[in-house]
Structure 1
């Protein structure tokens, strides 16, 4: 029996992974692992199984991806989200990580991503980082310098200027106004 990897759009958090797991278990589809944007199954799916999980995924806001380029773009997004939320990217080269994990030249990945999404990989990464900053500001547990460190910004000043550029507010103003204007990651 050969393993099959399926790619699922909008699986961007632990709760999403739990939902995919629940759907696969309900349909008695055995899997090895489920991650951001993908699931490794223990067997190939029948057309009937694909149709059933595709429909159920659609009902919860996920999409089963078939096109090779869509799968690559989805993988790029998943890797960036994983990096931002795991604080692993602070001193790493994103282009090297993407090339290494996806086995494509970074220029190919960036062209594919830009063509599909209408913006650069860097722009997407910045959007994810800003949403993470908003989340940490709303929790109120860390100061701006700690949030800068947590999200890979070189300084609190750089975080503040980037945040203001994206939101029109400084992080302190955002926190004081208790804006709570976060954007869900699957819509970025």
Structure 2
């Protein structure tokens, strides 16, 4: 039998996926794989089982995405979150990366994303990088220059300007106060 895929909204970390995997398996679902934003079951399930599957997903703070446009927007978000979290360096512009990964024209992706999210893909990427920077600053394991480099900024100055523009604080001032000024990734 062929496996069945479900796209899940707001699944933003591997820990989220593991918790969901445990809950689904406890309910008798045979999970083949869970990646950010996607659950693959070993075999197709009945409509009644789909209702239970959706209940479990919602009980854990996520939503099942059914329409194609929402699914595509969620895929864009997951790819950007992954880029921001891993610090992966892009050889080409973000637009080329997304178009290649999703096999779609970037202009189409951009219009769709802006229409659904109310902000551009590039702005969403910046906000994700700033949230990751806040996290790294709070951890205190890297200096600002290392953080800027890890997040793909061309210089610490560029990083500092963008950080201040988005937060109203310089990274060094943010580091000094270390309040819990982060917001949840899925609220960006």
| Alignment check: 8 A CA contact 2:2 2:43 kept | yes
Per-residue CA deviation, residues 67-97 of structure 1 (Å, 9 max, x unaligned), is 1101000000001111111111354422122
Unaligned runs of 5+ in 2: none
Whether 1:76 aligns to 2:76 is yes
Give, in angstroms, the shift of residue 30 of structure 1.
2.0
2:94 & 2:35 partners in 1: Cα distance?
19
1:16 & 1:176 partners in 2: Cα distance?
30
| Bigger Cα displacement from structure 2, 56-65 vs 74-83 | 56-65
| Bigger Cα displacement from structure 2, 74-83 vs 23-32 | 23-32
| Bigger Cα displacement from structure 2, 51-60 vs 115-124 | 51-60
Match of 2:135 in 1: 135
1:22-171 equivalences in 2 (<5 Å): 22-171=22-171
Unaligned runs of 5+ in 1: none
2:85 & 2:31 partners in 1: Cα distance?
24
CA 1:80–1:89: 2 relative to 1, 3 Å? farther
1:2 & 1:37 partners in 2: Cα distance?
20
Give, in angstroms, the shift of residue 177 of structure 1.
0.9
Give, in angstroms, the shift of residue 99 of structure 1.
1.3
| Bigger Cα displacement from structure 2, 35-44 vs 137-146 | 35-44
| Alignment check: 8 A CA contact 2:20 2:60 kept | no
| Bigger Cα displacement from structure 2, 108-117 vs 45-54 | 45-54
Structure 1 segments of 4+ aligned residues over 2 angstroms from their partners: 89-93
Q: Which TM-score applies when normalising by structure 2?
A: 0.95
Q: How many residues align?
A: 188
